[in-house]
Each structure stands twice: as structure tokens, then as C-alpha cells.
């Protein structure tokens, strides 16, 4: 299902499968694979894997692909007192760009209304990554936070860091729901990174659709204004989308359930995108081969089935989109679409990181500039 390969990954003939009807049908017909995945979900014994294992390059040039790690994590109002080594694996993995989007970061949502600083979390991340990584830009809103780090070899190629916020809480003022974003230039390409925390609840999918659409319109407009009216090239969206399984699930169901793809097929985000409800339909997402990342016990990989029971969900997701701009070819006087250069190489969840009722989800990309 997953293989480790040595960089450069541009030679990999099989990009990571995307979550769509074609792959969904293909994988759901493989009894051996489905049986294995169902056991992983049921027992929460999932072990994440990374796409490549290699040491950092000595220098960066125009011929290199950028290797990017993107992480999303609802932290349940805490900062881990343990090492994040298993999240970054700096000793054996190298990424040129690392983006970390968090929700309920460092403090609870209520406390964050009065104290929004995420300085302690940023210091923790910087200490974990070491001196080879430099903070490029960050943004905060209430308990949401997003930060971009770049390896020192890539720093000379980066400029124009901007941050943005958009509140969607009470009366559009409180930032308990909404989104934040960061945009940067790498060479002549504009990267837009968004992090959001959408409405919770089993019956709130319609409101989440509306929130997402407004966030996308707002941030795209802001980025264009701040980059000389030029649209972004790459958009990576992290967040707690609060997508739930559209089914009647009770604690006893979890204990006896054994149909991974049955649940995934009823994921509200998947259903919305498949039905093209003007909600993320233009975005891509990797095929999900990991259990729902919510709601778990804080310090054990077990479902929360007591009085605080919630319907499980793949709440924590990473979406992406490339703005395939059209170029005029003077010789043919016709438009030609640029070939996709943003490639998903891995999509997984890390169940080794405890302390929250969510588990982190990460994606690895390569971008050919």
C-alpha cells in the first residue's frame, strides 16, 4: 500500500491515490486490504509511515523540487510536555518547508479570547526543529495558529510573507470559528496556506459548507490584493473541518464495528465533495488509509465511549489545490494549461502523539518550481 522511496520522488510513477469515486471503488473491492484497514481502525493500532527517508541537501537551486511537510492538529488546549520527535523525525527526514496548522492551540478556546499569544508553542516548535529551520511567517486567531518554517538553504528564495485572519464566530467577531492564512513567495510562485476550525456537530454540515466557501473567497481576495493582484499558485488547507460520519453510531456500534470503508463512504466531507455541493469540490485530498482521528481518549488510543461520547469522525484533514493558470503561446496564439507541479506523496495520521482528543494528520508534498 505504501512504500518508502529515495529522493528524487519526481521519478515515482505512482502518485498517492486521491479520495474520489474511482479509487474508492477500486480499493473497496480488495478484501485483503479492506480487512487489514478495518482491523487498524477498530483497534487503533495504526502505525504511520513517511514517504521518504533521507538526509538534508547541502544547498538548494532552481533544479530542485521543494519537499514539504504539512501538519494539522487540534491540540485540545494544551502544549505537549513530551518531545515532538515522532512528529517531525528530523534525524531521518528532511523537508525544505514545514507548515503546522493547529486548533485549540496552547489554551482553550474560551481562555484564548482573552490571551491569544502562541509564543510558547512557537518556541517549542523552534526548539524541536533546531537552528537549521527558520520561522518565515505565522498567524493566530483565538485558539487557531499556523506557522511556516523553512530550511535555511531555502530562505534566500522566500519573500513577501503575509498573514490574514477571518472570524466566523459570534456575530462575525469572535474567532472561535473561522480561519487564518499565510502567503509567501518562493521564487515567483505564490503559496497560500490556510488553517480553519469549522462549526462542530453532527447536523452542521450545511453551515460548514458556507463557512468554507466564505473563507476561500475572503483569503483568495486578500492574497491577490497583497501580491500585486496576482492569484496564488498553490493552496494547502489544513484544519479541523469537523466532518462526521453520516450515520447513527452509538458506543456499542464502535465496539462491534468492522467496516472501515462503510464509515468512510458516509463521511460528510466526502459526500459533499462527491455531490459537488459547491464545497471543496475543486480541492483534492489523499485517499484515507487511517482511522478517524476524533474522538479519542487523551492519553490512550481508545475511543471515547463514556459520557463524553461523540460520533467518530475524520475531522482533521488536509486539502490542496493548484491554480492552473493559462499561458498565451505566441507561436500558436492559443491557451495551454500548465502541467500540475504540486504532487501529494503521502497522507497519514500519527497516533503516537497523545495529549489531545484528536490525533495529528500530516501530508508530504513535492513541488516542482
Q: What is the mean pLDDT of the chain?
A: 86
The residues facing 184 across adjacent strands are 191
> For the ranges 4-8, 63-67, 113-117, 336-340, which has the lowest average pLDDT?
4-8
pLDDT at 60: 58
Whole-Å CA distances, 192 to 88, 216, 222, 229, 302: 22, 11, 11, 14, 35
Largest CA distance in the chain: 69
Report the half-sphere exposure of 161 (CA within 13 A, side-chain side).
15
Query: What is the third-level CATH fold of 21-54+62-324+339-368?
Result: Deoxyribonuclease I; Chain A (3.60.10)
- pLDDT, tens digit, for every residue of 14-40? 579 999 888 888 888 888 888 888 888
Asked whether residue 213 carries a pLDDT value surpassing 70, the answer given is yes
Task: Please report, for the chain, the start and end positions of each structural domain, with discontinuous segments joined by +.
Answer: 21-54+62-324+339-368
> For the ranges 77-81, 229-233, 300-304, which has the lowest average pLDDT?
300-304
Cell output for 195: 488553517
Asked whether residue 354 carries a pLDDT value surpassing 90, the answer given is yes
- pLDDT, tens digit, for every residue of 44-83? 888 998 888 776 666 656 567 899 999 999 999 999 988 9
Instruction: Decide: 354 and 87 in contact? Cβ < 8 Å.
Output: no
- pLDDT, tens digit, for every residue of 150-170? 999 999 999 999 999 999 987
- pLDDT, tens digit, for every residue of 313-337? 999 999 999 987 654 444 444 444 5
Q: Quote the pTM value.
A: 0.91
Amino acid at each position: 500500500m505504501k512504500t518508502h522511496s529515495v529522493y528524487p520522488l519526481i521519478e515515482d510513477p505512482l502518485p498517492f491515490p486521491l479520495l474520489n469515486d474511482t479509487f474508492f471503488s477500486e480499493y473497496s473491492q480488495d478484501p485483503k486490504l479492506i480487512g487489514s484497514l478495518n482491523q487498524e481502525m477498530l483497534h487503533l493500532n495504526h502505525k504511520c509511515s513517511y514517504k521518504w527517508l533521507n538526509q538534508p541537501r547541502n544547498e538548494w537551486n532552481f533544479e530542485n523540487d521543494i519537499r514539504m511537510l504539512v501538519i494539522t492538529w487540534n491540540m485540545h488546549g494544551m502544549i505537549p510536555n513530551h518531545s515532538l520527535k515522532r512528529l517531525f523525525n528530523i534525524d531521518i527526514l528532511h523537508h525544505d518547508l514545514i507548515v503546522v496548522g493547529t486548533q485549540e492551540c496552547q489554551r482553550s478556546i474560551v481562555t484564548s479570547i482573552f490571551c491569544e499569544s502562541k509564543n510558547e508553542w512557537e518556541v517549542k516548535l523552534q526548539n524541536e526543529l533546531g537552528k537549521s529551520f527558520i520561522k518565515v511567517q505565522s498567524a493566530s486567531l483565538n485558539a487557531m495558529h499556523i506557522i511556516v518554517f523553512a530550511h535555511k538553504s531555502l530562505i534566500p528564495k522566500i519573500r513577501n510573507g503575509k498573514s490574514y485572519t477571518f472570524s466566523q464566530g459570534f456575530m462575525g467577531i469572535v474567532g472561535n470559528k473561522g480561519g487564518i492564512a499565510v502567503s509567501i513567495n518562493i521564487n515567483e510562485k505564490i503559496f497560500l496556506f490556510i488553517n480553519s476550525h469549522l462549526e462542530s456537530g453532527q447536523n452542521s454540515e450545511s453551515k460548514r459548507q458556507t463557512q468554507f466557501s466564505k473563507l476561500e473567497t475572503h483569503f483568495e481576495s486578500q492574497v491577490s490584493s497583497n501580491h500585486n493582484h496576482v492569484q496564488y499558485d498553490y493552496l494547502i488547507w489544513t484544519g479541523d473541518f469537523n466532518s462526521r460520519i453520516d450515520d447513527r453510531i452509538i458506543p456499542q456500534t464502535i465496539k462491534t464495528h468492522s467496516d472501515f470503508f462503510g464509515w468512510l463512504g458516509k463521511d460528510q466531507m466526502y459526500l459533499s465533495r462527491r455531490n459537488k455541493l459547491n464545497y471543496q469540490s475543486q480541492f483534492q485530498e489523499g485517499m484515507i488509509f487511517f482511522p478517524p482521528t476524533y474522538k479519542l481518549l487523551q492519553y490512550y488510543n481508545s475511543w471515547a465511549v463514556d459520557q463524553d461520547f461523540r460520533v467518530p469522525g475524520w475531522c482533521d484533514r488536509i486539502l490542496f489545490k493548484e491554480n492552473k493558470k493559462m499561458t498565451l503561446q505566441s507561436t500558436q496564439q492559443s491557451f495551454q494549461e500548465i502541467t500540475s507541479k504540486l504532487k501529494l506523496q503521502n497522507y497519514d495520521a500519527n497516533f503516537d502523539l497523545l495529549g489531545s482528543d484528536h490525533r495529528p494528520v500530516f501530508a508530504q508534498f513535492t513541488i516542482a518550481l
